[in-house]
Amino acid sequence: MPLSLYDTQARAKRPFVPADPARVTMYVCGPTVYNFVHIGNHRPVVVFDVLFRLLRRTFGEDAVLYAANITDVDDKINRRAAEDGVAIDVITERYLAAYNADMVELGALRPTFQPRATRTMDAIIALIGRLVGNGSAYAAEGHVLFDTQACEDYGVLSGHPMDEMIAGARVEVAPYKRHPADFVLWKPSKPGEPVWDSPFGPGRPGWHIECTAMIEQSLGLPIDIHGGGIDLLFPHHENERAQGACAHGHGGDRTYARYWMHNGFLNFGDEKMSKSLGNVALVNDLVKSAPGEALRWALLVGHYRAPLEWTGDLVAQSV
């Protein structure tokens, strides 16, 4: 039976036809490692592990390349390191190890690649340089920003008009921006934060550019499938797609990912599971009362694109 996937950008199911059946590529946004990852963050781990296994069965184990990144430079990581009085990499190594242990508990295969932002810095800087060089980005007051007005199809992925997207997102409006929707590719580091030298000045990258560079370095662009939680659709994936298309589009082909896939939220009651709301359940706590395969099953009982309510009854019924 032919494989069909729901493509977020097309708003429809499409037959899955990779660019090269001998080299099928998939990228999924992974965690920011500053704390234990809650079960809601593991829904994409399990959902896309199922797809990874299906692709391997369909095209062959050696034909599928799956990258799931790790964000290991971020404001939250910096704050956690300062609170604990340790170096940044102490925090990231500790919680990356915990995250990988959770994946084992949930029966997820290790991705082919697990790229990390701090180990992709040369590629990030080179990518920003290309965007500046072709007029898709500009320098302003120590920052480098992506010019959303240089991307004529900005918004095509999320499907919302520019004004609506700005109103619906907490967009930082800084005086050095040409347009309120423009976003940071490179920014100065604050005292005590990690810092890298670059042609744009010492600093560190913005979040969106990291993923594009990690995809390019580990898989090459364009890719067949880009996945992640629905909360990443805007602004993260919209911005990823825009900068990637502007940096790599040639001959009229601005494809960044051929298929976009998003899983729904995992909810506690009427609220999305979130560390900021304090309504989280951790895998290393849950496995004390339920085996990992039961937790995996609980994450898969609903349609992957629909919200799923996480309750004690759900777990009990899955044991």
Domains annotated on the chain, with CATH: 18-118+209-318 (3.40.50.620)
Which pLDDT score, from 0 to 100, does residue 175 have? 87
Please report the beta strands in the chain, taking only residues with DSSP state E, as ranges in sequence order: 4-7, 12-15, 24-28, 64-68, 137-140, 143-146, 183-187, 204-205, 223-229, 257-263, 266-268, 271-272, 308-309
Model confidence over 202-239: pLDDT tens digits?
999 999 999 999 999 999 999 999 999 999 999 999 99
Cα separation of 251 and 234, whole Å?
Answer: 27
Which pLDDT score, from 0 to 100, does residue 302 have? 95
| Closest among 176, 173, 178 to 188, alpha carbons compared | 176
Which residues of the chain are under the pLDDT cut of 70?
A: 162-172, 249-253, 269-279
For the whole model, what pTM was predicted?
0.94
Which pLDDT score, from 0 to 100, does residue 168 have? 47
Decide if 145 contacts 185 (C-beta within 8 A): yes
151 Cβ neighbours under 8 A, 6+ residues apart = 136, 242, 243, 245, 246
What does the buried/exposed string (b/e) look like for 232-249 if buried means 16 or more CB atoms within 10 Å of the residue's CB?
Answer: bbbbbbbbbbbbbbbbbb
186 Cβ neighbours under 8 A, 6+ residues apart = 125, 128, 143, 144, 198, 200, 201, 203, 204, 205, 206, 209
Which pLDDT score, from 0 to 100, does residue 166 have? 60
Which pLDDT score, from 0 to 100, does residue 174 have? 82
